[in-house]
Every structure is written in C-alpha cells, then in structure tokens.
Chain A
C-alpha cells in the first residue's frame, strides 16, 4: 500500500501552510531580524515603517504579555530580542501588513542601530573563551588511562564535520486564527505541536487549553521543524493576540536559510589504540559542538553523539567528552540522526587512519570489532539481537563484495585519469528519545456508525509515511481494509502533551498506542458479537477481512453491521490509549544505563570513481543490507533508506555551509548551497532486507526507519578517500567533511 497522501500530492491538491485559504482580514507578517552577529541594540525606530500605507502594526518584545522566553530544554532564548542580539537573523520585530509585499517593504526601512560586540563563530574558540551552553558531558567505560599501554599502536588526530541545512522544500510557517474568548487556533508546520502550544501559552500568559495547534502535513522537516518551527508559530500567535486578526507568517527561502539553525558542525579530537591484529582496545574522543547562540536542542544532540561514539563496534575502554560551544551563529538544531552521524563519523575516521598505521585495510579493522550479543555498549546497555555481523556478512554474500573490490583494483591498474575507491559502512543506531520521559504517545480511535475509522495520534506526517503505518497497524488489528481508515491531522485537542515526531520513533510509539486503542474497541465488539450471535463461552470469535468469524467459520455478520448494531446497543465505538516504551532508563549522575529500546543495524558498501584531473567524483553504487525488522510497508521503508542515504551523502560531499568571519552565512541561497540533484546520487542503489530480524518493541515486529540509513552516507566520504589513496598511495591526506571536489583537488596536488 502506498503513502495515503500520494494521490493528492501527484495532483497538486495537498495543502501546505502557504496554500490554506485565508480568513477575511488576514494580516501578513514579516520578521525584522538582526543583520549583525552580536551587539547591543542602541535604537530601534519603527516610525517610517509604520507610516507606510497598509502597515497595521509592528510588534516588538514590549508587546509580549507573558514571558519573552521560548527555550525548550534551557530557558535561554527570547522570542524577540530586547537589548542585545546574538546571531544574524535573530528576530527583533514583526511587521504586520495587509499584504506580504507591503510588510516586506516596511521591514526594509526599519531603522536600527547597534554597538557591535566581539563574535565567535568557531567552537574551539568558544571553548577557549569558556563560552559553553552547559559544562562538558563525559561518558566512559573501562580504564582509558591504563589501556594505552596495552595497545600496539596508538593514533591521534583531529577531524571536522560540517553543518547541514535541512532544506525542507516547504519553508517554515504558521497561520494563527483568533477564535472567541482569547482562544487561538494555529495551523503550524511543526514536528512538535505541543511545543508550539506550550510556548504560545507561556508567551501570551494563557492556559494551554486556550491554544489549539493543528498540523495536517509538513513539506519536509528532517528535524528542522522539531524545535525551530516553534518561534514562527509563537510569533504568529502573538500577532493575533495583539491585533485580534488572523495572521499568516511564511518565511521566504532567503529568510529561512538566514534565520534558522542547521545540523551542528563538529570539530573533534580522537585517540585510538589497537592491537597489531586490529582489535580496538581504547578510544578517547572530544567533540566540540558548534551549538550556535542559544541551547535549542544542542545538549540532547550532543548526548546522542556520545551514545554513538563507538558506532557498531565493541571497545572495552572508552572516554568520550562532549562540549557544547556557544557561538554567534543561528542556534543549530535537530537534523536526521541528531548528533549520531557526527559521532559515528569520528570513529570511522579514526579507524581509517589507524588502519594505515597498522598496514591493514579499514574493513579488516571494522569487521574485527563488530558488536556481538552479550557485550555492552560503553554506556552500560547490554547488546541484544545484534545484527552488526549478520548485516556485514550479508553484504559480502549478497553483493559478492570480494569480487567488487577486485573489480576496483583491476580498474585502477588500467586507468590513470580515473581511480575508484570503496568503503564498508556499518551502522548501529539507538531507538528511543534519550530523554526517557519523551517516550510516550497516545491515540484516539473512533469508529463511525458506517464502519469507517478515524484515528488521531501525536504523530506528524512529513512525507515519512507515518500515517500509512498507523493505518496499517489499525487495519491489522481490526482486520479491515485501510481504505476504511483515515488518519486525521495532528491536533493538540485530540492528542495532548505529545512528544515531537522525531527520533525515528513516530511510527513505533504512535503505532503501538493505536494498536492498544483499537484493541480496546475490538474487545468490546467481540464481546458484543458473541451476544449478538449467541455463541457459547468456548467459541472463538474473531474478525477477519471485515467478517465476523466463529470458530474459524465466517458468519454473515459484516464489520459494518456489527459496528452499526453495536451503536444501537450503546457500545462505545471510541477509545483512547496510551503507550510508553518499556524497559528504558538512564542515570545522568553516572551516565550509565539502558536508554534505547533497541538498535537498528545495517551495512553499506559504496564505490566511487574519482576524476584525478578535475578532483570531481561520481558515486557508482551503494549496496545495502538493512535491518528493517519485519517491515510494515516495504515501499515506504525503501523510500526512507534511499532518501536518508542521499541526505547523508549530501552532508559528506557537497553540502557546505560557509560563514564569513562576521558570522554571515555565505551559502545563503539555493544557488550557493547545493544539495544532491538527480545526477549526483549513486548510479545504483541496491537495498536488501536482512533476514530473521525480530523486534518486540515495534508494531508487528517492525523497526524504526527514519534516521539510521542516513549514516550509510558516511561511506561516501571514506570511499572517496580510498580513491584518493589509490591515486596517490604515499600521500597523507588532511581532509574533512564535506569532502568537496575543491578539498579533493587541493589535497591531491597541494
């Protein structure tokens, strides 16, 4: 079955924020924002802008009735700047006008004066100045200090990975509509309706029940609308509150790129110790995370980096230090993988470097150290149901990787101007929010008297197909066709106190809650059917394919009739249910515990061809064996792997965020920030389902899919590096991610 929304998408009928019909009198909002990265506001003159015909109001921090504070984890983020700005793009005022053009024109002539203050753009510089979001976080196991003596080889180095713009095709936005009695309804492009509701409530000083947030769908999000959709929703709500008018606030691409945070750039130091035969004995790593000007989700992102410091490998002695550095960039935020990719990239870089010293191939070291059941992750969680070795072996077998490597060697011996390289990239990604309290969800299921079903959960549809998975879970539980099921918009009046649709957990948690809710109604219906059909106590009554079955024999009672009769017999056809992920815990005093319900595994084999003369490269193929558990929907899950892989490749290869020394984003348009197009993706992507993987935590044994496959993209970096080594075997390359063709060419010929 296909994505529910697909039929509307392909006809251009799907509504996004910018497409909604607007209520009469809607005002259009444009955010006036800081053009300097750090400074004190000495004067702000709105008069000229206010004088433009059509301008209705210009809102500043002074207009906020409640708290000027929207920080999620740490309370360090104002909605509108008061006396000081901390990054280029920080909102200062909100212009409201009868049209978007007038609002933009007015915003351009607002006069503001600053006294500039010193700025920091690099995380190590921030660390040197003790400009930190929180004190350093340290995870460790074994005894790192004693371990170095036991190693035959110890390798140290530093490596950077760049940030990444989400580039959801739909920019950020919200519509706010005042309803009677200080009630506001918001239509928001957010992954986290409850966050929007909570922050609006705080800023306006209204109880949460006065704020209704509705989300139909997002035109892409990738983490960029987890925390960072909130500010736009709150600004729209504030404007409605002040003017008592409906407000539309949709960012232009230019404003979106300028004002919103990205994936965190990291600069990391590592030290890795191994035995001569490639067993990793010790690993010490320090991550300097570029958090930007306020905390946003940075501390949680950093924690996930620490949880993924060792990727798919068992290492007995580990010390990992995470330092969240405060700089004068827009607050960096969640992005698919949530810090995991940054952590995994460093261990892979360490292995690649150590392998050269050992005279081994990276794949030998990687394979030697793959996780096995009954070992422990260095933060204390026991390894269960590990598929690390299985997926690696399956790649070797299914795709005959030995032969592929042989082909690479033969090609290289025959060609001077082109050289190939390859890499193995195993992944191991923990599923569950690492803030354990977030691992809860609810579902509200209604069966209408005609037998059709409506489901509301906390999950937000953003293209990942969560609605289809929820419908599939309900369809399987009731044994009715998915065409009878509608998954409704995500709405805070139908699903309260929701967790963001994030951490790959949307389908797992909301699907499980849906199954529980459906089971409650099903239980009532079966009991009712037994009465209706006058069965004996020993008879087994079920529903299969919309027919009531007694002792495996179909009756004449259909789903519709059963539902309708149940209604007239005053049986409740609605149920709400609650799910919380069991067995997870983490102790932040000792930084040990079992924070993940399970892990997702897989292995990718990547080959590239490098143009030696021009420094450009082409990805030939990526061959993946992935651990889907028992996939709920193969069509959707394969799409998630392909899409995530290419996003990961983009992060590792061409997506380069450059900032000027005064904190200005230079890659500030689609003409300068390049994401993969149809030509830059691998010629061939092959994905195989790993056999015999079970998962009791996922609906019908499925596994979470959103984030893990992004990290296969890391393989592209190491395949390119391999091709560079094959071009100049004696050269030592000092490169970093993204490995752009500029860096490749400079490294080959410097």
Chain B
C-alpha cells in the first residue's frame, strides 16, 4: 500500500508517496540519509532512535518524544519530526554543551536519543524539575556512562533554564532566543497548519494502528504488506466525566491519561504509578485502546481498568455495544472483537470518598520493563467493613485477570490481617501462572500474595498488623 504522505522533517517539508507502515527510523535514515538517529533494538527498549514529534493541538504547537523505530510514517502525517540534525547547528545548544562539559557521552551511540528526549522535556514543561527530567530520559539506555554524568548534565540544564526565567506563553520563541532550538522552529506552526493532517484510507479490511508500540514490535515487517489505517484522533482524543463516570476515548495515550487532571483529582497516586508503564516515548504513543486490545496478560493499564470494573464500548458499522472489560478476554490473546469492530471507549465509575485505589507492579527492572506480576485494587469500605471490592492481577493467568472469587470473598468482611491471609488462599486457587523469563511459577504465586498484602498495608495501615503479614 502506498499513500501520499506529507510532514515536516527538521526544516524540510516532505511530500512523498510511500508505504505508511514504513517506520520513521527507516525513512529518516534510508530515504533522507540522516544517520544521527540510531537503530539500537527496534523494539522501543533502548531509545537510541528517539525523535521529537510536534503537532498543533488546540492551537498550540506541542512536542513530545517518540521511538522512531515503532512509529509508522503514516502517523507522522501533518506533524513536525525533529532529529538530532534538526537541533544541531555550528554552535551547541545548552543541552549539548552540558553533555559535553559533564562527559555525558562516551561511545556516543545513545547520545542523540538522550538529547532529543531532554530537549522535548525542556520545550514542553514550564516548571522544570530534576525528577521529571529523569523520567523524560528514562526511556534512553546508555551502556557506557552509568548515567551519573547524564544526570549531572540534565541537572545543569534545568538549573540553567530556571535561571533564565523563560516565559510559558511564548516558550518556543524564548527557547530559540536562548539557543535551545534553531530559528526555523519559529515558522513551524504556520507551516504545519498548511499541511494535510490525515491520510485517506478507505478500506474496511485494514489493520487499525493506534500508536503502533505493540504492533510494530511484533509485526513491523508484515505490516509493510498489509492495508493499514490510523486512528484519526490519536492525541486529540478525550477524557471526560459524565455524571459520576469517566469516559476515556480508546485513542487516549497513556501519557495523556497519566497527565489528565480528572485522573489526578480522583486517583492522586496513579500518575506516579503510571511512570512504571514502559517509558515516556512509548507512553507518548501507546493508546489505552491499544493496550486493551493487545490483550497482554500483563498489560498495566488493562489491570488498572479491570480493578475499576470498567465497561468498554465497541463500535462497528452495525452500531455500538457495551460489555464489561472483564468479559472481553476469552483466552490467551483471544478477545471478544469481530473483524469490523473497534474499541471506542472505556468507561468506569469515579471513586467516592469511601473508595480507595492502588496499583502494584514488580518487574525485574523497576522501570521500562514488563511486569512479573502486577495487581490493582479498588475497594470501598464503611466502618472498616468492605462494601465493594475489585482486585485484578496480571502475569498469573493467560488473560489479564479479575480475581473474582477473591474479591467476592472479601465483600462484607472486616479488614484485618487474618482475613487477608484467608483471601490469599482463595487468590491462589483462581490463578494459573507459568514459568517464563519473567519468573518461575512459585515466584509469581508468592509475588501475587505479596502485592495483595501491599495493597492493604498501603491503603489501611491502621487496620493491618504488618508483622502478621511478613
């Protein structure tokens, strides 16, 4: 399949007829000969290929980092793609200067990716914090430096910008003045508005690509010979509340969900817990709907939505239907979705004051890793009696699992250590983990127990005797 594709690459308007499933990485390196963007792993796990992606959202030019190895050029239509060449000129940007000063580059292969990620962070955030900057570059792997010099460089950059007092409203202009960005950035917004922003794909038998972060890890080659279509409102999708329910468009990215005011208001701890979901460039592309449909037994967001007792709205030509997310998964990677259907929305009830929520995840590496076991809980209580409870867990079954028996057992029970120990026995009876690279069966069983304990210790520190659970 070939389509006309238009976007801006650095300071150049690109208008080509090409396969929309070609990855940005290949386009940048092979078609444009820009070799500063590196191929490290082709699965979004190293960040060497990180580029910036700019688009006009609500009349504002916004930038974010993405892994170009998983990003199809079809999704780049109407956007501004920035590679290291597009940030570099004769003089160094202050970020490049600090990388140089601190010795934050050794073999150099990962360096362009780091500089892109950090530049993206600096463009998009008015209030710069060391921890947030760390999160912004946490999707970049370096094998040489041990990150110490990179952390120093990034701290210096933040100190430098905070000293400059750059305004929020005309941030790009100020960053151009301070040499963080080259001058051509001033004209990008206007140029983007003149570009077509969507692809014309009219084929019902096409593979629908969201952010591509799962599909392009698994099938990048196969997708080149398939018809594919793209979500129109990727990034423009919305999270809203109606009555007491939260409606999340399937095209909402994980990062958008994480940064939503609705989410932080009702689930104050969830945004920081979602830092455990992949890396920022992945979260910038990956969609909620994609994570649900991918049906990974350890999908982090799926586990969260299961504990929220979510419904999903499934859309097709023949109309819409609503089912419980809990009923969406039939068996390993088998879902209740017909060929012409797509998941459109996720809907869940917002918590009341008597409801508490928690998410736990343990993986071999804490960040940018797939869980050995994860678990979420939503629990309502009245006078220490559980009135409603949903516990979910991933990594312990062929599907993301709602722990139905365990949850039902706990209803109307008074919270104490003894009852939790009894609940663990029930949980063990409804899971069926297997030994794999993420852990042996015995470990996964033990770990689920520990995570359930962790839910209660965190949420009900006064009711729980920690000693009895250790």
Q: Do A and B bind each other?
A: yes
Q: A220 CA to B343 CA in the complex, in Å?
A: 44
From B101, B111, B364, A674 is in contact (CB under 8 Å) with B364
Bin the interface of chain A by size.
35 or more
Q: Mark A614-650, 1 if CB is under 8 A from B, else 0.
A: 1110000000000000000001101100111111000
Report yes or no: B100 in contact with A678, Cβ–Cβ below 8 A.
no
Task: List B contacts of A5 (CB < 8 A).
Answer: 105, 108
* A128 contacts B by Cβ under 8 Å: no
Known contacts A11-B88, A742-B372: A19-B106 contact under CB 8 Å: no
* B36 contacts A by Cβ under 8 Å: yes
Q: A127 CA to B441 CA in the complex, in Å?
A: 30
Residue of A nearest to B373 (CB): A614
Residue of A nearest to B443 (CB): A742
> Which residues of B74-129 have CB atoms within 8 Å of chain A's CB atoms?
83-85, 88, 92, 96, 99-101, 103, 105-112, 115
Report yes or no: B141 in contact with A742, Cβ–Cβ below 8 A.
no
Q: Mark A1-18, 1 if CB is under 8 A from B, else 0.
A: 011011111111111101
Task: List B contacts of A647 (CB < 8 A).
Answer: 143, 146
Q: Mark A673-712, 1 if CB is under 8 A from B, else 0.
A: 0111111110001000000000000000000000000000
Report yes or no: A654 in contact with B108, Cβ–Cβ below 8 A.
no
Known contacts A19-B35, A169-B141, A647-B143: A613-B470 contact under CB 8 Å: yes
Report yes or no: A681 in contact with B46, Cβ–Cβ below 8 A.
no
Determine, out of A30-38, A136-144, A462-470, A577-585, the stretch whose residues face the partner at the interface.
A462-470
* A217 contacts B by Cβ under 8 Å: yes
Q: A646 CA to B147 CA in the complex, in Å?
A: 9
Q: A253 CA to B147 CA in the complex, in Å?
A: 22
Q: Please give the distance in Å from B170's CB to the nearest CB on chain A.
A: 27
Task: List A contacts of B148 (CB < 8 A).
Answer: 639, 642, 646, 681, 685
Task: List B contacts of A681 (CB < 8 A).
Answer: 146-148
Q: Please give the distance in Å from A491's CB to the nearest CB on chain B.
A: 20
Report yes or no: B447 in contact with A745, Cβ–Cβ below 8 A.
yes
Q: Please give the distance in Å from B406's CB to the nearest CB on chain A.
A: 18
* A168 contacts B by Cβ under 8 Å: yes
Q: Please give the distance in Å from B114's CB to the nearest CB on chain A.
A: 9
* Interface residue SS majority, chain B: loop
Report yes or no: B48 in contact with A169, Cβ–Cβ below 8 A.
yes
* A438 contacts B by Cβ under 8 Å: no
Report yes or no: B138 in contact with A677, Cβ–Cβ below 8 A.
yes
* A749 contacts B by Cβ under 8 Å: yes
Report yes or no: A642 in contact with B439, Cβ–Cβ below 8 A.
no
Q: A387 CA to B16 CA in the complex, in Å?
A: 64
Known contacts A10-B115, A220-B143, A643-B144: A169-B107 contact under CB 8 Å: yes
* A160 contacts B by Cβ under 8 Å: no
Q: Please give the distance in Å from B86's CB to the nearest CB on chain A.
A: 10
Report yes or no: A676 in contact with B146, Cβ–Cβ below 8 A.
yes
Q: A677 CA to B45 CA in the complex, in Å?
A: 10
Q: Please give the distance in Å from B64's CB to the nearest CB on chain A.
A: 19
Q: A11 CA to B42 CA in the complex, in Å?
A: 22
Report yes or no: A674 in contact with B365, Cβ–Cβ below 8 A.
yes
Residue of A nearest to B137 (CB): A678
Task: List A contacts of B469 (CB < 8 A).
Answer: 613
Q: Please give the distance in Å from B8's CB to the nearest CB on chain A.
A: 18
Residue of B nearest to A10 (CB): B96
Report yes or no: A677 in contact with B368, Cβ–Cβ below 8 A.
yes
From B45, B100, B447, A10 is in contact (CB under 8 Å) with B100
Report yes or no: B109 in contact with A16, Cβ–Cβ below 8 A.
yes
* B260 contacts A by Cβ under 8 Å: no
* B430 contacts A by Cβ under 8 Å: no
Report yes or no: A741 in contact with B362, Cβ–Cβ below 8 A.
yes
Known contacts A613-B450, A741-B362, A741-B364: A678-B43 contact under CB 8 Å: no
Task: List B contacts of A209 (CB < 8 A).
Answer: none
Report yes or no: A672 in contact with B437, Cβ–Cβ below 8 A.
yes
* B1 contacts A by Cβ under 8 Å: no
* B440 contacts A by Cβ under 8 Å: yes
Q: Mark B57-72, 1 if CB is under 8 A from A, else 0.
A: 0000000000000000
Task: List A contacts of B221 (CB < 8 A).
Answer: 101
Report yes or no: A678 in contact with B470, Cβ–Cβ below 8 A.
no
Report yes or no: A416 in contact with B105, Cβ–Cβ below 8 A.
no
Residue of A nearest to B90 (CB): A11
Q: Please give the distance in Å from A163's CB to the nearest CB on chain B.
A: 15
Known contacts A677-B367, A677-B368: A220-B451 contact under CB 8 Å: no
* A170 contacts B by Cβ under 8 Å: yes
Q: Please give the distance in Å from A5's CB to the nearest CB on chain B.
A: 6
From B40, B146, B366, B450, A745 is in contact (CB under 8 Å) with B450
Q: A101 CA to B21 CA in the complex, in Å?
A: 15
* A520 contacts B by Cβ under 8 Å: no
Task: List A contacts of B215 (CB < 8 A).
Answer: none
Q: Please give the distance in Å from A684's CB to the nearest CB on chain B.
A: 9
Q: A642 CA to B148 CA in the complex, in Å?
A: 7
* B17 contacts A by Cβ under 8 Å: no
Known contacts A10-B100, A677-B138: A463-B107 contact under CB 8 Å: yes
* B32 contacts A by Cβ under 8 Å: no
Task: List B contacts of A614 (CB < 8 A).
Answer: 360, 362, 447, 450-451, 454
Known contacts A674-B364, A680-B365: A11-B107 contact under CB 8 Å: no
* B187 contacts A by Cβ under 8 Å: no
Report yes or no: B454 in contact with A6, Cβ–Cβ below 8 A.
no
Report yes or no: B46 in contact with A169, Cβ–Cβ below 8 A.
yes
Report yes or no: B144 in contact with A12, Cβ–Cβ below 8 A.
no
* B151 contacts A by Cβ under 8 Å: yes
Task: List B contacts of A679 (CB < 8 A).
Answer: 134, 138, 365-367
Report yes or no: A667 in contact with B96, Cβ–Cβ below 8 A.
no
Known contacts A253-B40, A745-B447, A746-B442: A6-B141 contact under CB 8 Å: no
Task: List B contacts of A740 (CB < 8 A).
Answer: 364
* B163 contacts A by Cβ under 8 Å: no
Report yes or no: A670 in contact with B106, Cβ–Cβ below 8 A.
no
* B370 contacts A by Cβ under 8 Å: yes
* B39 contacts A by Cβ under 8 Å: yes
Q: A219 CA to B150 CA in the complex, in Å?
A: 17
From A3, A656, A671, B103 is in contact (CB under 8 Å) with A3
Task: List B contacts of A674 (CB < 8 A).
Answer: 364-365, 369
Task: List B contacts of A639 (CB < 8 A).
Answer: 103, 106, 144-145, 148-149
Q: A685 CA to B366 CA in the complex, in Å?
A: 19
Q: Please give the distance in Å from A598's CB to the nearest CB on chain B.
A: 25
Known contacts A3-B105, A6-B99: A12-B35 contact under CB 8 Å: yes
Task: List B contacts of A746 (CB < 8 A).
Answer: 442-443, 446
Report yes or no: A10 in contact with B105, Cβ–Cβ below 8 A.
yes
* A44 contacts B by Cβ under 8 Å: no
Q: Please give the distance in Å from A112's CB to the nearest CB on chain B.
A: 21
Task: List B contacts of A680 (CB < 8 A).
Answer: 365-367
Q: Mark B333-350, 1 if CB is under 8 A from A, else 0.
A: 000000000000000000
Known contacts A614-B451, A645-B146, A681-B147: A7-B100 contact under CB 8 Å: yes
Q: Please give the distance in Å from B185's CB to the nearest CB on chain A.
A: 17
Report yes or no: A169 in contact with B443, Cβ–Cβ below 8 A.
no
Task: List A contacts of B145 (CB < 8 A).
Answer: 639, 642-643, 646
Closest 6 CB pairs of A and B: A12-B36, A463-B107, A9-B108, A646-B146, A12-B84, A219-B109
Binding site for A on B (CB under 8 A): 34-43, 45-46, 48, 83-85, 88, 92, 96, 99-101, 103, 105-112, 115, 134, 137-138, 140-151, 217, 221, 360, 362, 364-370, 372, 436-440, 442-443, 446-447, 450-451, 453-454, 457, 466-467, 469-470
Task: Give 5 new A-B contacts, CB below 8 A, not counting A5-B108, A417-B470.
Answer: A5-B105, A9-B108, A463-B108, A614-B454, A685-B148
CB-defined A-B contacts under 8 Å, sample of 26: A2-B100, A11-B88, A11-B92, A12-B35, A12-B83, A13-B88, A15-B35, A101-B221, A169-B48, A169-B110, A220-B109, A253-B40, A463-B107, A464-B106, A613-B454, A614-B447, A639-B103, A639-B148, A643-B146, A646-B148, A647-B143, A654-B365, A677-B365, A679-B367, A680-B367, A685-B146
